[in-house]
């Protein structure tokens, strides 16, 4: 690798921050240690700058102490030219290549003109110093960009590169992309689960940190879902695949992370457009600063005004803005990913900072979406166990989530079988059990069949399943959905983040929705909504002045609202694929408390980006004025350019080290 590696790395990193990373970044991890070649590469990268630095310091020392009388004239010039070439030649080459492509006004051209001009007027040490510190700045930028890329790429390393699939009476190692749905795979201790599936073994314990950002192991039982990218912690397990690799959770995450860097924020787009206009203006101002004073200044000295113009060019280099701003957003995306929050682009980091109204679905968002029997009320002559057997016999014919909850009831004795079961649209089920006619459903079903329902049931908020046996009311079961463990914490933290308007919209019964909303302290709630009703409510909110809406949901029916809101946030663990594809932000852990964290990361990212913009413009403008007035030297110019760039980079890197709670 020759000395031009500095500039090649610079352009490569800018390109990779700007657009989606391709094959080199997406290759499978082969599990080998490549530290040797990488260390050699690092030494070669830094060697030109080290050589130039030693030559420059030695030259300045010889100049100052005058220890070698021959260090004058051509000897001195050649010394500083040799010091200049390792760091200056790559920049000049890049500037020339840009000109050949029609891109005249780049920072490479600015630095080339400024340093060659310094040589032309005899300021050799300053010419070398400017290019040396510029090269050092590029090395720091390269290191900071690589760090940000590694934080994002950490997710890519969880991509499994083999699957042990059961074929022809044995487990054979194959590429995960060749495994089909329904095949059985084996995962050993310490290995990554290669595809999404259902656990066939009795139990399993998994590290899901790469997917969810949570370090706590996840223990599941047979029949539960297992996600690709999880690491098996306890014993050899077997899994039946439910998705192809391209549709698995890890493939979906990788695709979203890789594409996130291609979606730039408005700030990034503005800065890039601004740099294209700003740089030629600076060049023409420098030319004017060199020649225009000739017509107005009595003691005009060309060399002095050229020196001021060269300082002006060095100061005006826009690299602090061009690198540190995308790096800031890149750091924000990486910080979010490590916390189990996937932003689909930098533009959504920005959008999150403007949200002032949070609208959320209920089931699956703040509740677990898993129904459980809360109470069994038996008014029949049967025992509770017999009463439940009649109910369960009918519910076995249903696929409704409530039916699943009822079937989990443990009733003693022999099971009963139902016959002639039919559905009564919107009301429930009707069938025969042990020769008795059994109705299972809502109050409307009972009323339609002239069955008297106790008035006490009118005050029940939870979902209620009523039962009649042979024309008589036999009792009922109440079903309730559980709140997620962090639901209360989520609402509290959202409020602490400055969001004053929190709304709940649900397709569940309005009474249940209101009860949950009251328990959580939500400002306003509405239940019994169809998907189009939710959409209409969000559209109404968006029409209110200065209102930016974030909607959080998880189901297929939430997809239209997720698409219509200013920021759509999907629960990515149990959420539907449609909701995840439609949303702008994915909460991989299904934890609503991560919403406030996403807002915090977005705001911190934007704050750091604007700090960098203010720092770069502020210092440059001050030193530009001083340079034009003859009050600043090349050394101040170096600080205004490279020093500010380094400060901005270090500020952006802070995002990658912050603790988010």
| Whole-number Å distance between alpha carbons of 179 and 244 | 7
Residue 313 CB-density burial (10 A; 0-12 exposed, 13-18 middle, 19+ buried): buried
Residue 307 corresponds to which tokens in the numbers above? 């020196």
Helix (H) or strand (E) holding 368: strand 367-378
Residue 198 corresponds to which tokens in the numbers above? 């259902």
Query: What sign has the CA pseudo-torsion 596, 366, 552, 20?
Result: positive
DSSP state of 192: B
Strands (DSSP E) contained in 5-106 are none
DSSP state of 633: -
Helix (H) or strand (E) holding 419: strand 418-424
| Whole-number Å distance between alpha carbons of 349 and 331 | 11
DSSP state of 224: S
341 - beta bridge partners? Answer: 587
On whether the CB atoms of residues 162 and 195 are closer than 8 A, the answer is no
- Chain CA centroid to CA 298, Å: 61
Residue 433 CB-density burial (10 A; 0-12 exposed, 13-18 middle, 19+ buried): buried
| Whole-number Å distance between alpha carbons of 252 and 263 | 17
Long-range contacts of residues 494-500, Cβ cutoff 8 Å, at least 24 apart: 494/358, 494/595, 494/596, 494/599, 496/596, 497/596, 497/599, 497/600, 498/356, 499/355, 499/356, 499/357, 499/358, 499/599, 500/356
Residue 108 corresponds to which tokens in the numbers above? 């490479």
DSSP state of 183: -
Q: What's the residue count for the chain?
A: 661
| Whole-number Å distance between alpha carbons of 463 and 454 | 16
Residue 277 CB contacts under 8 Å (≥ 6 apart), including other chains: none
523 is catalytic: no
Query: Which of 361, 508, 584, 641 is an active site residue?
Result: 361
SS3 479: strand
Please give the full DSSP string across 556-600, using - where no structure is assigned: GGGHHHHHHSSEEEEETTTS-HHHHHH-SEEETT--TTHHHHHHH
Task: Provide the annotated active-site residues.
Answer: 361
């Amino acid at each position: 690798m020759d000395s031009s590696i500095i500039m090649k790395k610079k352009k490569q990193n800018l390109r990779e921050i700007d657009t989606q990373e391709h094959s080199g970044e997406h290759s499978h991890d082969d599990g080998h240690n490549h530290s040797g070649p990488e260390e050699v590469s690092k030494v070669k990268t830094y060697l030109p700058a080290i050589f130039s630095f030693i030559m420059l310091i030695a030259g300045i020392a010889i100049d100052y102490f005058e220890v070698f009388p021959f260090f004058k004239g051509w000897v001195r010039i050649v010394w500083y030219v040799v010091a200049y070439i390792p760091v200056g030649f790559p920049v000049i080459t890049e500037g020339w290549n840009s000109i050949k492509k029609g891109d005249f006004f780049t920072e490479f051209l600015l630095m080339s003109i400024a340093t060659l001009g310094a040589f032309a007027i005899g300021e050799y040490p300053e010419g070398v110093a400017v290019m040396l510190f510029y090269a050092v700045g590029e090395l720091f930028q390269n290191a900071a960009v690589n760090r940000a890329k590694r934080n994002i790429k950490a997710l890519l390393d969880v991509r499994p590169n083999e699957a042990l699939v059961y074929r022809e009476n044995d487990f054979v190692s194959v590429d995960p992309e060749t495994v089909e749905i329904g095949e059985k795979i084996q995962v050993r201790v310490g290995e990554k689960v290669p595809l999404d599936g259902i656990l066939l073994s009795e139990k399993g314990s998994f590290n899901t940190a790469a997917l969810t950002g949570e370090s706590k192991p996840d223990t599941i039982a047979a029949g539960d879902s297992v996600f690709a990218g999880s690491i098996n912690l306890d014993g050899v397990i077997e899994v039946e695949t439910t998705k192809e690799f391209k549709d698995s959770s890890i493939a979906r995450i990788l695709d979203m992370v890789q594409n996130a860097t291609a979606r730039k924020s408005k700030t990034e787009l503005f800065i890039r457009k601004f740099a294209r206009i700003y740089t030629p203006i600076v060049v023409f101002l420098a030319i004017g600063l060199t020649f225009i004073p000739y017509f107005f200044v009595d003691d005009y000295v060309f060399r002095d005004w050229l020196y001021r113009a060269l300082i002006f060019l060095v100061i005006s280099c826009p690299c602090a803005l061009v690198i540190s701003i995308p790096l800031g957003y890149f750091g924000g995306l990486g910080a979010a990913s490590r916390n189990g929050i996937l932003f689909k682009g930098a533009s959504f980091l920005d959008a999150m900072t403007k949200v002032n109204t949070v609208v959320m679905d209920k089931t699956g968002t703040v509740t677990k979406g898993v129904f459980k029997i809360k109470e069994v009320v038996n008014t029949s002559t049967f025992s509770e166990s017999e009463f439940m057997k009649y109910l369960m016999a009918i519910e076995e014919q249903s696929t409704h989530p409530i039916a699943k909850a009822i079937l989990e009831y443990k009733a003693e004795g022999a099971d009963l079988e139902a016959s002639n079961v039919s559905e009564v649209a919107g009301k429930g089920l009707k069938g025969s059990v042990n020769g008795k006619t059994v109705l299972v459903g809502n109050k409307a079903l009972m009323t339609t069949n002239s069955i008297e329902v106790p008035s006490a049931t009118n005050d029940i908020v939870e979902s209620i399943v009523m039962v009649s046996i042979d024309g008589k009311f036999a009792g009922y079961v109440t079903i309730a959905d559980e709140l997620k463990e962090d639901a209360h914490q989520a609402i509290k933290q959202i409020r602490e983040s400055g969001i004053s308007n929190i709304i709940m919209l649900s397709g569940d019964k309005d009474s249940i929705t209101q009860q949950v909303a009251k328990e959580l302290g939500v400002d306003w709630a509405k239940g019994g909504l169809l998907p189009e009703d939710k959409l209409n409510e969000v559209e109404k909110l968006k029409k209110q002045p200065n209102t930016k809406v974030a909607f959080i949901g998880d189901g297929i029916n939430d997809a239209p609202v997720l698409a219509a809101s200013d920021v759509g946030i999907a629960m990515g663990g149990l959420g539907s694929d449609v909701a995840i594809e439609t949303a702008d932000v994915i909460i991989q852990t299904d934890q609503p408390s991560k919403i406030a964290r996403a807002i915090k990361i977005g705001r911190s990212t934007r704050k750091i980006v604007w700090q960098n913009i203010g720092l770069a413009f502020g210092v440059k403008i001050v030193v530009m004025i001083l340079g034009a007035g003859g009050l600043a030297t090349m050394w101040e110019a170096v600080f205004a350019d490279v020093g500010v760039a380094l400060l901005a980079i270090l500020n952006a890197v802070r995002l990658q080290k912050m603790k988010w709670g």
